[in-house]
Structure 1
Amino acid sequence: MSVRARKDEELLDYSYNSGLVLASIALSMMAAFTGLSVTRGLSRLSVGQRQTRIVMGAVALGGGIWSMHFIAMLAVRLPIAVAYDVLATIASLLIAILLAGVALLLMHFTKRNLSHIFLSGTVLGAGIVAMHYLGMSGIEFCRPVYAPSSIFAAGLAALAMGVAAIWASYGRRTRANILIGTLIFGSSVVIVHFTAMAGTGFLALATSPAFTPALDNNQLALIVMVSAFVICGAFLLSGATFLAVPAENQTAPAGADSVEPDMPEPSPEPAPLRIPVERGGQTQFLPAAEVSALRAEGHYTIAYSGKDKFFCPWSISEAERRLVAAGPFFRVHRSYLVNIARVTGFERRRDSGICLFEGTASLDRVPVSRNRIPALRDALGL
């Protein structure tokens, strides 16, 4: 992927600072891990919490793409001083964050199937390429020139590895898959950057001034790295606070009072959610936690609880509206809602799946639609 200049122009020789190159690779991996980790397990959260976590993931992934690129460019040693246009540099950061956010929204607010995985990975890969070349356009006092083959190779690598990263991370949402996705995505940013740079040359402009920047490349790279580390660390720590900690697991330090005197009175616990059922001509209410599943029966539902099953006046859509947002219920099929806490097993079939139950009358298994399997596995922690 050689770069050719006109006869009256000569390309500048350049080299790399190996320390900054290694730092850019490490930063790419850290950002990838942060972005993919803070978006794990979102199906158990409210819509507002999911949106917040997706913003965090987009900033981590998009900001990581940009930070890797910027530090790798600071690693370039040219015989002339260069600077970066602020508008183009900020625009390259914003486009990376925007497209990373779109990719995450596709995975968390649409059906998680192969077509959406491919689309999400394509958007993510496009963000890497767009950020790189937009950022390169901001170089001042010299002009980058590109070999067309390097643009094609970088674009192809970005799209392929973007799809691979999303497929690895979202095919199954296990810790191992997150780590594999981290390696693929972190590597993709590095590979795309240096593939593009292999076909890039630099021409000095006739008006290139001699100046000394206020910060040298090492100092500027250090600022970017520390900022990225603080942001990623804060996101990882704050992301953990979205997970509820059971009260019985919260212990006070030895010798501390059980309630601090200046603490406000705790707000009353909300009443436990109940499900109306009909029995003997009367309407009774079952605690939602005791119900294993609800099955659609025309415009009504059948509730399964222990050894009994009950007629419920709610439709399956009404039950989903009331139960999914307020408790551990999940819509696994057009005709079934299940209580995740009462599922005792899960089987993957060829084109579908099955939730298993024990100790529930007339209900030992519930079918799971193929397009709901990834989100269900996520909710079950698989």
Structure 2
Amino acid sequence: MNEMNMMHLEPTYNLFLVALSYCVSVFGSYTSLQLIEGIRSQGKSNVMWLIGAALALGGGAIWTMHFIGMLAYDMGMPVGYDPLITFASLIIAIIVVGVGIALVSAKSESTPRLIIAGIITGLGVASMHYSGMEAMVMAADHSYDTGLLVLSVVIAIVAATAALWLAFNLTGNLHKLGASFIMGIAVCGMHYTGMAAMSMTPSAHTVHIEASMEPMTMGLMIFGFSMLLLVLSLIVALSQLTQRMYEDMESLDDDDDLAIQQ
């Protein structure tokens, strides 16, 4: 093995993009908590609420955070992303989060069901992360530190279990907001632990990377698009929940009027 292949790359982080990744994770978590409130208020897993929550948490809080975090990882060489693998990692994140929410919403008071859902979701999130890493196209090979890799998977499972518990047990906007900051820390903790587990060494083989946008430009575009979708989802969720609250209040008033007339 030549000297070039023995040399490990020393990547750096764009701290602005790291901060953006945390912000979108927090906002995605908060949006998903509001959408899950729609499931809780109906007492069942309404499909549209479930899909919205899975998109907000899996696609926004987790995958978008992950991809912006990847763009923040500067290895000092051109990097491209395989579009098929990248898209597959997004689908994985949305599906496993949807499965976890569906399992818990069916019987939210069941601890065994919560643990099973947390394990499935956590392993799915870890799969999303490491499949996303495999999407990187560059003139370098990567390997993983086993200890940090296992730690990242454990963090993913614990974080997923905690997130599902919080989603179906919290009430009040302040509690949900506080939980969102904690969920953001957990998601980022899993991602950056997984990144720390990776070692990069330059390779002799040639790769062809098509010209693409700068990481900062791409990161800002993904952040802006994701935030726009999350804001729209949050507006819809809050308007629907507010409307349902008014309908419940009117129903109570009608019942009181009927009782008085009788």
| Partner Cα distance (1:43, 1:200) in 2 | 40
Q: Which residue of 2 aligns with 1:278?
A: none
Amino-acid identity (%): 26
Larger CA deviation: 212-221 vs 111-120:
111-120
Q: How does 1:34-45 map to 2 (within 5 A)?
A: 34-45=31-42
Q: Give the Cα–Cα distance (whole angstroms) in 2 for the partners of residues 9 and 82 of structure 1.
A: 20
> Greater CA deviation, 155-164 or 224-233?
155-164
Map 1:101-250; keep pairs closer than 5 Å: 101-141=98-138, 142-209=140-207, 213-243=211-241, 244=243, 246=246
d(CA) in 1 for partners of 2:209, 2:83: 17
When normalised by structure 2's length, the TM-score is 0.85
Aligned residues: CA RMSD: 2.9
Residues 88 and 137 in structure 1, CA contact (< 8 A), matched pair in contact too: yes
* Secondary structure, aligned partner of 2:37: coil
Q: Helix, strand or coil for the counterpart of 1:80? A: coil
Q: Give the Å deviation of 1:201.
A: 1.2
Which residues of 2 match residues 189-338 of structure 1 at below 5 A? 189-209=187-207, 213-243=211-241, 244=243, 246=246, 289=255
The whole-number CA distance in structure 2 between the counterparts of 1:240 and 1:20 is 29
Q: 1:180 to 1:115 in 2, by over 3 A?
A: farther
- 1:315 equivalent in structure 2: none
Give the partner amino acid of 2:104: M
The equivalences for 1:12-27 within 5 A come to 12-27=9-24
| Residues 29, 184 of structure 2: 8 Å contact kept | yes
Q: Deviation per CA, 1:2-60: give whole Å up to 9, x if none.
A: xxx99953221211111111111111111111111111143443868x21011001001
Report the Cα offset of residue 144 of structure 1. Answer: 2.2
- SS, match of residue 39 in structure 1: helix
Matched, 1:63 2:59: yes
Please list the CA deviations of residues 205-249 of structure 1 after superposition, one character each: whole Å capped at 9, or x if unmatched. Answer: 3233476733111111111001110110010111123232658x9
Q: Does the C-alpha gap of structure 1 residues 111 and 53 become closer, same or farther in structure 2, counting only changes over 3 Å?
A: same
- Please identify the structure whose Cα radius of gyration is greater: 1
Which structure has the highest strand share of the two? 1
Distance of 1:123 and 1:144 partners within structure 2: 26
- Give the C-alpha shift of residue 138 in structure 1: 0.8
**1:251-296: CA deviation from partner (whole Å, max 9, x where unpaired):** xxxxxxxxxxxxxxxxxxxxx9xxxxxxxxxxxxxxx947xxxxxx
Deviations 1:62-94 (A, max 9, x none): 112111111111111112101011111011110
- Determine which structure has the larger helix proportion and give its number: 2
Q: When the two structures are superposed, what TM-score results if normalisation uses the length of structure 1? A: 0.59
**Aligned match of 1:300:** none
Cα distance between partner residues in 2 of 1:94 and 1:47: 24
Q: Is the 8 A contact 1:153 1:195 kept in 2?
A: yes
Equivalence for 1:54: 50
- What whole-Å deviation, never above 9, does each CA across 1:155-184 have from its counterpart, x for those lacking one? 111112222222233234343442343223
Structure 1: state its 5+ residue gaps.
Answer: 250-271, 273-287, 291-304, 309-382
Greater relative contact order, per chain length (Cα 8 Å cut-off, separation 6+)? 2
Measured in 2, the distance between the counterparts of 1:9 and 1:205 equals 9
Structure 2 residue identity aligned to 1:96: A
Structure 2 residue matching 1:13: 3-state secondary structure: coil
In 2, the alpha carbon distance for the partners of 1:129 and 1:216 equals 26
Give the total of aligned pairs.
250
Cα separation, partners in 2 of 1:210 and 1:169, compared to 1, 3 Å:
closer
- Secondary structure of the residue aligned to 1:40 is helix
Q: Please show how residues 67-78 of structure 1 align to structure 2 within 5 Å.
A: 67-78=64-75
SS at match of 2:177: helix
Amino acid at match of 1:233: V
